[in-house]
Structure 1
Amino acid sequence: MIRIDPSEVSTGKLHGMMLGAIGPRPIAFASTIDEEGNPNLSPFSFFNVFSANPPILIFSPARRVRDNSTKHTLENAITTKEVVINIVNYDIVQQMSLSSTEYPDEVNEFDKAGLTMLPSEKINSFRVAEAPVQFECKVNEIVSLGNEGGAGNLVICEVLLMHVKKEILDDDGKIDQYKIDQVARMGGNWYTRANMGMFEVPKPLSTIGIGIDALPEDIKNSTVFTGNDLGKLGNVERIPTNTEVGDFVNNNSDIKGKIQDANLIEIHKFAQQYLDKDDINTAWNILAAIQ
């Protein structure tokens, strides 16, 4: 591995390496107004949710690396103590990118990006009508992280009102992770479209997994299984008993035939096929049959 000491490289290079390594990052499409009521709209990928009670979102408009100047969004947040954070989906990603152009103060990025200003209910800043979710927020605090170019400014926002388009909800009233069709920022000019690469990872809430350290040695040291495979196998409450394994094998003649004369590597590869399909129970019964 290469080593990078932040004190020995330029801010620009460090910035690029950090953003290339840390991602995908959600995007805060921040809408603010200045003290005269002029709107501003700009995206920020230093952003996330940090609390539900109170509901807190934080984004960071960093000082520009090239000239140490601050952004209009930060100046407006300091002055008005409010912001609308709009969520970006694939339908508006190009318009969002266009709005990041450094237009002069008097230019309305809503107009430049062809987006619709929608009045908020609890604050004066406008919402992006096309955004699937919009958060009306008051700014509780702004924490400056430095005075040099590249320094962040944590804008700590408390959600006063959340707007969600009905079209992105599932039958249970929850946000459907496919329908919302979010995009996220990566390094350079790269973005990712979330619903093109989503997968589910079951997380036990009522049981405790045995852990990889408790796996039988031949499984733990297998040349076949990946770290993800071992993680799935270790995420069970217990290994099947001999009785359970016997019943399973006897009731599945195809599996019984495959493992009867197979060597260890072949059995591991066979079990891996079921792990790839998230059929952990079958994989474990195959493996436990030879223990």
Structure 2
Amino acid sequence: MATFTLDPQEIEVVQLHGLLLSGVAPRPIALASTVDREGNVNLSPFSFFNVFSANPPILIFSPARRVRDNTTKHTLENALETKEVVINTVNFPMVEQMSLASTEYNKGVNEFAKSGLTAIPSVRVKSPRVKESPVSFECVVENVIALGDQGGAGNLIIAKVVLIHIDDVYTNKDGKLDTIKLDMVARMGESWYTRANEAALFEIPKPIFTQGIGVDKLPTHVIKSDILTGNNLGRLGNAEKIPSEKEIAQFISTDDSLKKMVKDKDFYALHCRIRVYIKEENITNAILTTFSIK
């Protein structure tokens, strides 16, 4: 396996732009609605976007200067004029309409009408929100930081959330947002997107809730295994403690096939079994099997 290295200063901005978008992904999408001083509405998606603070609640997105001609986008111009924006989230049922809203229509053209998305009034800002969006954030623009003055340069719009609208279709019985129901989409490179639907979702126990033993505490034969993956090792290393000799002996005594693996030092079979336990989310048995041979 070979790695090649690129200096951003030595390649064209167009190539660098493409590499960054493909290499930093997936990226959430901010479907930003703004108005200018005359009240003309603009709607445009941005994938240079994320949440950066909860107290105060801050979202940041970045309308970059166009690479081809170094012009700025209407969203940026409107945000500078009115200091307001509504950031609407995007899920799969509306992704094609969101994409259509990215078309670079002339100033004054209403992308709500072009995309078929529904504009409904906001409460604390003049910009309308998108009815079809699962979650919409009414924001005031706290600051805009220009990162450069050439084509491709970003402009960080730092937006403080002043009101949140949630479509209760996407909540669970406890009133919390339901990740599976949300069916969110994210931007990849070129014309690719990804969908966070049920088939693509998975959970990992957060180490913040426990102090894992760490991969370095696993037996050497496990660390150097050709069967176990890095993800497998990470899951084993997240175990809270190394089982005691008594626990290990009791576990081995109940399984004749495991007894034979231990006696024969059959690392291949042992590692295969560990993988099965991990796949089944039976981490207790996986860690006991891991330490059955040290």
TM-score interval (norm. to shorter): over 0.9
Q: After TM superposition, give the deviation of residue 31 of structure 1 in Å.
A: 0.1
Q: Is residue 289 from structure 1 mapped to residue 292 from structure 2 by the alignment?
A: yes
1:88-125 Cα shifts (integer Å, max 9, x gaps): 01011000000111111121100000011110001100
Structure 2 match to 1:270: 273
1:28-53 Cα shifts (integer Å, max 9, x gaps): 00000000011000000000000000
Q: TM-score, normalised by structure 2?
A: 0.95
Secondary structure at the aligned position of 1:213 is classed as helix
Aligned-residue CA RMSD in angstroms?
1.4
Structure 2 match to 1:47: 49
Q: 2:251 aligns with which of 232, 236, 248?
A: 248
Q: Is residue 168 from structure 1 mapped to residue 157 from structure 2 by the alignment?
A: no
Q: Is residue 213 from structure 1 mapped to residue 216 from structure 2 by the alignment?
A: yes
Query: How many pairs does the alignment contain?
Result: 291
Q: After TM superposition, give the deviation of residue 289 of structure 1 in Å.
A: 1.8
Kept in 2: contact 1:259–1:286 (CA 8 A): no
Structure 1 match to 2:154: 152
Structure 1 match to 2:206: 203
Counterpart of 1:36 in structure 2: which amino acid?
E
Secondary structure at the aligned position of 1:179 is classed as helix
Secondary structure at the aligned position of 2:180 is classed as coil
In 2, the alpha carbon distance for the partners of 1:199 and 1:95 equals 28
Q: After TM superposition, give the deviation of residue 265 of structure 1 in Å.
A: 1.4
Q: 1:233 aligns with which of 207, 231, 236?
A: 236
Structure 2 match to 1:185: 187
Q: 2:73 aligns with which of 66, 71, 74?
A: 71
In 1, the alpha carbon distance for the partners of 2:273 and 2:137 equals 49
In 2, the alpha carbon distance for the partners of 1:64 and 1:104 equals 15
Q: After TM superposition, give the deviation of residue 251 of structure 1 in Å.
A: 4.0
| Larger CA deviation: 276-285 vs 180-189 | 276-285
Counterpart of 2:187 in structure 1: which amino acid?
R
Counterpart of 2:163 in structure 1: which amino acid?
L
Kept in 1: contact 2:261–2:269 (CA 8 A): no
Q: TM-score, normalised by structure 1?
A: 0.96
In 2, the alpha carbon distance for the partners of 1:214 and 1:252 equals 25
In 2, the alpha carbon distance for the partners of 1:253 and 1:168 equals 49
Structure 2 match to 1:23: 25
Counterpart of 1:249 in structure 2: which amino acid?
I
Counterpart of 1:55 in structure 2: which amino acid?
P
Q: After TM superposition, give the deviation of residue 224 of structure 1 in Å.
A: 1.6
In 2, the alpha carbon distance for the partners of 1:53 and 1:120 equals 22
Identical columns (%): 54
Q: In 2 relative to 1, CA 191–206 (structure 1 residues): closer, same or farther, beyond 3 Å? A: closer
Kept in 1: contact 2:42–2:108 (CA 8 A): no
Gaps of 5+ in 1: none
In 2, the alpha carbon distance for the partners of 1:181 and 1:206 equals 27
In 1, the alpha carbon distance for the partners of 2:81 and 2:268 equals 66
Q: After TM superposition, give the deviation of residue 247 of structure 1 in Å.
A: 2.3
Counterpart of 2:42 in structure 1: which amino acid?
N
Kept in 1: contact 2:243–2:287 (CA 8 A): yes
Gaps of 5+ in 2: none
Kept in 1: contact 2:219–2:291 (CA 8 A): no
Q: In 2 relative to 1, CA 47–248 (structure 1 residues): closer, same or farther, beyond 3 Å? A: same
